[in-house]
Amino acid sequence: MNIVSFGGGTNSAALLIGLYQHGIPVDLITFADTGAEQPHTYEFIKHMNKWLKEHSMPQITVVKNVDRNGNRLTLEMECLRSGTLPSIAYGYKRCSQKHKIGPQEKYCNNYPPCRAVWQRGERVTRFIGYDVGEWKRYEHSRKYNEADKKYENRYPLIEDWHWNRDDCIKVIRGENLPLPGKSSCFFCPSMKKQEIEALKQQYPALYQRAIAIEESAMPNLTKVKGLGRNYAWKERYGKE
């Protein structure tokens, strides 16, 4: 049972293409929609699904986080309700765990083919798209592999094909696909200056929603100043 955690960006797109090119079958592709992806990511998923269909590969299964009552709970909603910033602004990665990793694992926990593998006492093979420039992430993730009883994580971009980011871009262009662009929430505290400025210029309505999250959290901030951690987006880039 081979599954792919699709992130919507360059590496995961190249990973899918590479698996096809190397004749490695894929049974399930999941993408966790936080409800805060930028428009180009949603658009690229359409292009990727078209390519997958043309190559007889499964379509991307979109999963979402829900509350205890089964109602949709986006990261944006959570931040506004609690008057907080995404947890990464405070130095934690709970937002990724709750809205990215969690929904995908929950889906697999209830997916009959995955359950059948685990009932046989075997592990599901999960492909992850870290390129050779992400060695630290790879090393950190690999530490937990032996202890994971459910998944055998594999990293072919690094371990088998030795692809860097330029290689991934070349592979995507070679399939006549558009480049996916940066995949992240539109209010991610890890965004760089040029990415924030591009957001404000290209998607001004989303930028305003990001500022609304920042303003909602302001009364509760003590150790950080805003979405920029040591500065507020509103102060540095303006509200309008």
Per-chain mean pLDDT for the chain: 95
Q: Specify the higher pLDDT residue, 93 or 170.
A: 170
pLDDT in tens, 114-130: 999 999 999 999 999 99
94 falls in which pLDDT band (50, 70, 90)? confident
Structure tokens at 133: 């420039």
**Where does the pLDDT of residue 111 fall: very low under 50, low under 70, confident under 90, or very high at 90 and above?**
very high
Residues 6+ apart with CB under 8 A from 19: 2, 4, 25, 26, 127, 156
157/153 Cα distance (integer angstroms): 12
Q: What pLDDT, in 10s, does the model give residues 30-78?
A: 999 999 999 999 999 999 999 999 999 999 999 999 988 889 999 999 9
Look at 196 and 144; give whichever has higher pLDDT.
Answer: 196
To the nearest whole percent, how much of the chain has pLDDT over 90?
Answer: 88
CA 230 to chain CA mean position, Å: 24
State residue 195's pLDDT score.
95
Q: Please state, in angstroms and as integers, the Cα–Cα distance from residue 183 to each residue in 10, 13, 36, 92, 131, following that order.
A: 8, 11, 10, 19, 15
Residue 88: per-residue pLDDT: 93
154-213: per-residue pLDDT in tens? 999 999 999 999 999 999 999 999 999 989 999 999 999 999 999 999 999 999 999 999
Averaged pLDDT, 214-220: 97
Q: Could you tell me which residue, 144 or 34, shows the higher pLDDT?
A: 34
- pLDDT at position 150, please? 96
Q: pTM of the entire structure? A: 0.93
Which residue ranges make up each domain of the chain?
A: 2-67+96-174, 193-237
pLDDT at site 51? 98
Contacts 24+ apart (CB under 8 A), 236-240: 237/196, 237/197, 237/200, 237/207, 239/208, 239/211
The CATH homologous superfamily for domain 2-67+96-174 is: HUPs (3.40.50.620)
Instruction: Give 63's strand partners.
Output: 32
Confidence of residue 240 (pLDDT cuts 50, 70, 90): low
